[in-house]
Amino acid sequence: MRSVLAVHPAQRDDIADLVTRRPLPGPELEQVDPFLFLNHHGPQTYPPNNHGLPFGPHPHRGFETVTFILDGSLSHLDSGGHESVIEAGGVQWMTAGSGLVHAELSPEAFKRDGGPLEILQLWVNLPPPLKMTEPRYTGVQKADIPALSVAAGNGTLHLISGEFAGATGPIESLTDVFMSTLELKAGAKTALQVDRTRHVFLYVVSGRVDVAGTPVDKWNLVEMTDDDDSFIVGAADDAVLLFGHALPIGAPLAARGPFVMNTEEEIDQAFADYRDGKFGDPAGLVAAGPEAPTEKV
């Protein structure tokens, strides 16, 4: 079976009043190709009359963002004309491709009333031929995501993309990325199958687990070997994990701020195109909120 190569703790890096932990990239791990970046916001509770999330309009090019709303809600608006409010348990998958400006903010009701909030955002790289693909966006609510029984009924896998146990996730990945969230009750154990040609992405959102014989606490990313097609995960107490896998891209990586390309020249061009307004800006996007802080890559 696969074994654990290393366990990487998330680094605390709050954004304004938003509690934020980042396991990837970290001091000892640049990426889990093609998975580039993960921010874990919360868990925390916002009071009434709060300012909500701080991610006003900002650009992206060359990769995809996958946002998991574990608790609370998220309002999305982008320069491709896509708009949605995704509630707890839902997911939004945005292919920035050739370039989009988007805003991810809290709905007015959340800012007025407050409440619990926990959100994960994962960046998934695109291979060179798809870097400039046409942007697209898919938002799905919890009810649209298959909830599949695992661990003899003591766990649930929420299938977002790819196939599992005869079911297909509602989001079709351009690069055959499998993505899910996995809930395990205390004492539950399950074997997960992943072809050895694919890289595993496994992050412990909450609880304590045992991965291939290695104990792993919450807020840690598990780096795994690729020498077998399966591994076992057991839960010491109730746990939630982000579980995905994909074929590695193996291409050169150039990343600066909100852009991820293959060369520095392509990064320079992305900044120039953004300054020239080539990413678009639909009516109302700028009014959605102040420009967001630049994410770190």
Number of compact structural domains in the chain? 1
- Taking residue 110's Cβ as centre, other Cβ atoms within 10 Å add up to 21
Question: Domain of 79: which CATH number?
Answer: 2.60.120.10
Does residue 92 form part of some domain?
Answer: yes
Average pLDDT for 55-67: 96
pTM for this model (two decimals):
0.95
pLDDT at 288 exceeding the cut of 70: no
pLDDT of residue 293: 45
Known binding residue 245? Answer is no
For residue 44, list its beta bridge partners.
Answer: 117
What tens digit of pLDDT does each residue of 230-266 get? 999 999 999 999 999 999 999 999 999 999 999 999 9
Q: How much of the chain exceeds pLDDT 70, in percent? A: 94
pLDDT of residue 219: 98
Does residue 289 form part of some domain?
Answer: no
What tens digit of pLDDT does each residue of 7-60 get? 999 999 999 999 999 999 999 999 999 999 999 999 999 999 999 999 999 999
Known binding residue 102? Answer is yes
Q: Do residues 201 and 245 touch, judged by C-beta distance below 8 A?
A: yes
Does residue 132 form part of some domain?
Answer: yes
Does residue 178 form part of some domain?
Answer: yes
Domain extent, residue 204, equals 4-246
Give backbone dihedrals phi and psi of 43, rounded to 5 degrees, phi first. -70, 140
CA–CA distance, 39 with 123 (Å, rounded to integer): 9
Task: Identify whether 128 is preceded by a cis peptide bond (ω within 30 of 0).
Answer: no
pLDDT at 199 exceeding the cut of 80: yes
Does residue 258 form part of some domain?
Answer: no
In which band, very low, low, confident or very high, does the pLDDT at 280 lie, cut at 50, 70 and 90?
A: confident
DSSP secondary structure letter of residue 295: P
Does residue 36 form part of some domain?
Answer: yes
Known binding residue 104? Answer is yes
Q: Do residues 98 and 64 touch, judged by C-beta distance below 8 A?
A: no
Does residue 296 form part of some domain?
Answer: no
In which band, very low, low, confident or very high, does the pLDDT at 285 lie, cut at 50, 70 and 90?
A: low
DSSP secondary structure letter of residue 125: E
Does residue 274 form part of some domain?
Answer: no
